[in-house]
Structure 1
Amino acid sequence: MNSLLTQCVWAVPICILTCSTFAEESQISTSEGIISGDVGLVSQYIYRGGVENNDIAIQGGVEYAHKSGFSVGYWGSTLDYDSTDEQHDHGFEHDIYLAYHHQISKDWSYKLQTTAYLYQNGGTVYTEGNDHRRTTAFDVLAEVAYKDLSLNAAVILADASFGNAGDTYLSARYSHALPQDFLFNASIGGSVYNSQRDDNIIQTTQNFAFNEARVGVSKSFTNTGLTASFDYVVGGEDRLGEELDNHAVLGLNYSF
Structure 2
Amino acid sequence: MLASAAMLAQPAMAEEAAPAVEEDTSIFGGELSGNVGFYTDYIYRGVTQTNNEAAIQGGIDWAHSSGFYVGAWGSNVDFVDGDQASIEVDGYIGFANAIDSMPELSYDVGVIYYWYPGATENLNYDFVELYGSLGYDFDFAAASIGLAWSPEFFGDTGDAFYYQLGLEVPLPYDVSLAGGYNFQEFDEGAQDDYQDWNIGLGYTLYGVDLSLVYSETVDLGTNDNEALTFGVGYAF
- Same structural fold, with TM-score higher than 0.5 when normalized by the shorter chain: yes
| Superposed displacement of residue 155, structure 1 | 0.3
Q: CA 1:162 to 1:189, structure 2 compared with 1: closer, same or farther past 3 Å?
A: farther
Output aligned runs, 1:51-130, within 5 Å: 51-53=48-50, 54-81=52-79, 86-88=81-83, 91-104=86-99, 105-125=102-122
Asked if residue 209 in structure 1 is aligned to residue 189 in structure 2, the reply is no
| Superposed displacement of residue 33, structure 1 | 2.2
Which residue of 1 is the match for residue 19 of structure 2? none
Unaligned 5+ runs, structure 1: 1-17, 126-132, 197-202
Name the TM-score, length of structure 1 as normaliser: 0.76
Read off the aligned partner of 2:86 and give its amino acid letter.
G
C-alpha separation between the residues in 1 aligned to 2:227 and 2:152?
A: 30
Name the TM-score, length of structure 2 as normaliser: 0.82
* Runs of 4+ that moved beyond 6 A: none
Number of residue pairs the alignment of both structures matches: 213
How large is the RMSD of aligned CA atoms in angstroms? 2.3
Unaligned 5+ runs, structure 2: 9-23
C-alpha distance after superposition, 1:54-103 (max 9, x if no partner): 11100121111111110001111111237xxx322860100000010121
C-alpha separation between the residues in 2 aligned to 1:253 and 1:215?
A: 18
Which residue of 2 is the match for residue 194 of structure 1? 187
Output aligned runs, 1:1-256, within 5 Å: 19=2, 21=4, 23=6, 29-30=25-26, 32-53=29-50, 54-81=52-79, 86-88=81-83, 91-104=86-99, 105-125=102-122, 134-147=124-137, 148-161=142-155, 163-164=157-158, 166-195=159-188, 203-204=190-191, 206=192, 208-210=193-195, 212-221=196-205, 224-238=206-220, 242-256=222-236
User: Contact between 2:85 and 2:117, CA under 8 Å: does it hold in 1?
Assistant: no
C-alpha separation between the residues in 2 aligned to 1:195 and 1:23?
A: 44
Query: Identity over aligned residues, as a percent?
Result: 24
| Superposed displacement of residue 174, structure 1 | 1.1
C-alpha separation between the residues in 1 aligned to 2:56 and 2:5?
A: 17
| Superposed displacement of residue 45, structure 1 | 0.7
Q: CA 1:138 to 1:89, structure 2 compared with 1: closer, same or farther past 3 Å?
A: closer
